[in-house]
């Protein structure tokens, strides 16, 4: 890398991460994905990252794994599986605390296997309708959905984009990570139920507005019709892949692509519809961040900064500073960019589980800390339910502090063994 390009690369990097922090750049119609894409284009156009090195910068196994599970999730969404799941929770005569626990369990389980963002996108509107029809306050249940989806996604290396990146880059064993993350995730889910249940203190009901009976009278008529065969296909492929990840030695990205290809070979679900549900914005964001971070790494500046911090007594390669840096950066620039920044210093044996748990659990702190949170808030707004940052923070802050404490304790115990 020519030294003359280093200042330009640093400027692009700073602007990109400023855009990630602010959600865009002032006076420009750019969201986070647009900012990252523009930065990547600038680096390629100036040959700070030559065009023939672009795919060397992109970590293709992570990209392939993320794309494949978006296709699998699209299959289940089009089959009506997510809508059917929440409607099944509404049929039994569940008390509000029991319904809260069921929502937490279902959201966590689905997010551990599929993407937490997809789960929230599919479930939040149906859950809001269920609560309004039963004249329950939707806020505790929607908050439980967001928090549990984030926490549940931390249980596996396929639950969210940052875990996929960590698992593929550091070559973590799927079963080994699951064994490490299972206990703190389960304890964290119990904490979510306790915190949200206590914050409600029995005030579950809400007065129905004048339009609510008409809007919510027949929830079964809304959403996507349940297709048993398409659901069976999607769940079978997902189950086979999960078992293969646990016990087969084959690459996870290739297995997932094979499963996605099998589902795309359908006589009833058109590929246009399935690919239309793929989050191309997120995939473009990934490619752009790979390019921007690759350019910065090539300058040698990050390694120099890490070395200077270590000499000053702050060694980011040690578990505690890495844990703190992950939590802080995840709330400043979001968890995927934070993980990309910290992966080069993830050399400790516990760095993989530590990064995966801390970056994911930190997403519950603030409303903007996770895309899943924003998806739930947007679904709430579409049903006339206000879920602002203050409402989220009253639950998100204690949930994050408690779950991070549980994760830190579990990792410390494992390190002491």
Domain boundaries, the chain: 54-282+301-416
State mean pLDDT over 72-95: 84
Which pLDDT band holds residue 3 (cuts at 50, 70, 90)?
low
The span from the CA of 325 to the CA of 328, in Å, is 5
Contact predicate 48/5, CB 8 Å: yes
CA distances from 157 to 7, 84, 170, 172, 381 (A): 36, 26, 11, 8, 31
State mean pLDDT over 222-251: 90
- For 360, half-sphere exposure in the C-beta direction (CA atoms, 13 angstrom radius) is 40
Is residue 213 scored above 50 in pLDDT? no
What's the pLDDT score for residue 220?
A: 43
- Picking from 316, 384, 381, the residue whose alpha carbon sits closest to that of residue 351 is 316
Is residue 99 scored above 60 in pLDDT? yes
What's the pLDDT score for residue 308?
A: 87
What's the pLDDT score for residue 374?
A: 82
Which pLDDT band holds residue 114 (cuts at 50, 70, 90)?
confident
The alpha-helical segments, DSSP class H, found in 23-57 are 32-45, 54-57
State mean pLDDT over 72-99: 85
Is residue 83 scored above 50 in pLDDT? yes
**What φ, ψ does residue 205 adopt, rounded to 5°?**
-85, 155
State mean pLDDT over 77-97: 83
- Picking from 261, 219, 229, the residue whose alpha carbon sits closest to that of residue 78 is 229
What's the pLDDT score for residue 139?
A: 93
Is residue 384 scored above 90 in pLDDT? no
3-state secondary structure of 136: strand
The span from the CA of 35 to the CA of 342, in Å, is 21
The span from the CA of 112 to the CA of 245, in Å, is 13
Please give the DSSP secondary-structure letter assigned to residue 227: -
CA distances from 324 to 130, 165, 319 (A): 39, 19, 9
CA distances from 301 to 5, 96, 294, 307, 387 (A): 13, 53, 12, 10, 41
- For 236, half-sphere exposure in the C-beta direction (CA atoms, 13 angstrom radius) is 8
Residue 135: alpha-carbon gap to chain centroid: 30
- Picking from 84, 212, 78, 200, the residue whose alpha carbon sits closest to that of residue 142 is 200
- Picking from 86, 79, 73, 81, the residue whose alpha carbon sits closest to that of residue 127 is 86
Contact predicate 400/367, CB 8 Å: no
Is residue 125 scored above 50 in pLDDT? yes
The span from the CA of 203 to the CA of 229, in Å, is 41
What's the pLDDT score for residue 221?
A: 43
pLDDT tens for residues 288-343? 999 999 999 889 888 888 888 888 888 899 999 999 999 998 888 878 888 988 99
What's the pLDDT score for residue 91?
A: 66
The span from the CA of 199 to the CA of 206, in Å, is 15
Give strand pairing partners of 216: none
Q: Give 10's contacts (C-beta < 8 A, 6+ positions apart).
A: 296, 299, 301
Is residue 222 scored above 60 in pLDDT? no
Query: pTM score, two decimals?
Result: 0.87
3-state secondary structure of 15: helix
State mean pLDDT over 274-281: 90
Contact predicate 397/391, CB 8 Å: no
3-state secondary structure of 195: helix
pLDDT tens for residues 8-32? 999 999 999 888 878 788 888 988 8
3-state secondary structure of 93: coil
Is residue 219 scored above 80 in pLDDT? no
State mean pLDDT over 53-72: 91
Q: Using H for helix, E for strand and C for coil, what is the string for 389-411?
A: HHHHHHHHHHHHHHHHHHHHHHH
State mean pLDDT over 26-49: 92
The alpha-helical segments, DSSP class H, found in 248-370 are 252-264, 271-276, 280-299, 301-311, 319-333, 335-342, 351-361
What's the pLDDT score for residue 218?
A: 44
State mean pLDDT over 123-145: 90
| For the chain, percent of residues with pLDDT exceeding 70 | 94
Lowest mean pLDDT among 37-41, 201-205, 232-236, 332-336: 201-205
Is residue 82 scored above 90 in pLDDT? no
3-state secondary structure of 47: coil
- Picking from 411, 396, 291, 287, the residue whose alpha carbon sits closest to that of residue 348 is 411
- Picking from 101, 106, 120, 105, the residue whose alpha carbon sits closest to that of residue 200 is 101
pLDDT tens for residues 389-401? 888 899 999 999 9
The sign of the dihedral angle between the CA atoms of 63, 69, 75, 78 is: negative
State mean pLDDT over 199-228: 60
Angle at 279 between CA 67 and CA 178, to 5 degrees: 50
CA distances from 367 to 332, 356, 378 (A): 12, 19, 11
Is residue 212 scored above 80 in pLDDT? no
Is residue 214 scored above 60 in pLDDT? no
What's the pLDDT score for residue 307?
A: 87
What's the pLDDT score for residue 268?
A: 87
């Amino acid at each position: 890398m020519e030294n003359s390009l280093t200042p330009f690369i640093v400027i692009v990097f700073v602007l990109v991460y400023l855009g990630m922090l602010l959600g865009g750049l002032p006076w420009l119609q750019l969201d986070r994905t647009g900012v990252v894409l523009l930065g990547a284009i600038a680096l390629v156009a100036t040959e700070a990252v030559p065009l023939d090195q672009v795919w060397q910068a992109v970590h293709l196994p992570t990209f392939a794994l993320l794309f494949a599970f978006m296709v699998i999730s699209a299959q289940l969404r089009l089959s009506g599986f997510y809508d059917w799941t929440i409607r099944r929770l509404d049929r039994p005569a569940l008390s509000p605390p029991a319904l809260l626990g069921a929502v937490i369990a279902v959201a966590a389980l689905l997010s551990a296997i599929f993407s937490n963002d997809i789960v929230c996108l599919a479930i939040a509107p149906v859950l809001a309708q269920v609560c309004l029809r039963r004249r329950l306050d939707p806020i505790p249940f929607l908050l439980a959905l967001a928090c549990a989806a984030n926490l549940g996604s931390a249980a596996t290396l396929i639950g969210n984009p940052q875990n996929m990146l960590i698992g593929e880059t550091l070559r973590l064993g799927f079963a080994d990570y699951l064994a490490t993350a299972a206990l703190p995730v389960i304890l964290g889910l119990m904490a979510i139920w306790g915190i949200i249940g206590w914050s409600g203190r029995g005030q579950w009901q809400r007065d129905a507005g004048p339009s609510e009976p008409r809007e919510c009278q027949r929830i079964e008529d809304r959403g996507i019709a349940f297709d048993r065969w398409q659901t069976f296909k999607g769940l079978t492929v997902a189950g086979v892949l999960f078992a293969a990840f646990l016990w087969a030695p084959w690459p996870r990205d290739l297995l997932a692509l094979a499963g996605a290809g099998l589902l795309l070979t359908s006589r009833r679900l058109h590929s246009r519809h399935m690919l239309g549900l793929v989050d191309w914005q997120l995939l473009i964001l990934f490619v752009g961040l790979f390019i921007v971070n690759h350019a910065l790494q090539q300058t040698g500046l990050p390694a120099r900064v890490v070395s200077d911090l270590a000499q000053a007594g702050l060694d980011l390669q040690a578990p505690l500073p890495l844990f703190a840096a992950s939590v802080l950066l995840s709330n400043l620039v979001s968890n995927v960019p934070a993980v990309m920044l910290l992966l080069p210093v993830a050399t400790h044996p516990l760095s993989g589980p530590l990064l995966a748990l801390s970056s994911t659990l930190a997403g519950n702190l603030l409303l903007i800390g996770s895309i899943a949170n924003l998806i739930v808030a947007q679904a709430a707004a579409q049903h006339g339910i206000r879920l602002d940052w203050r409402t989220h923070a009253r639950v998100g802050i204690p949930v994050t502090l408690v779950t991070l404490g549980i994760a830190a304790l579990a990792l410390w115990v494992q390190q002491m063994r």
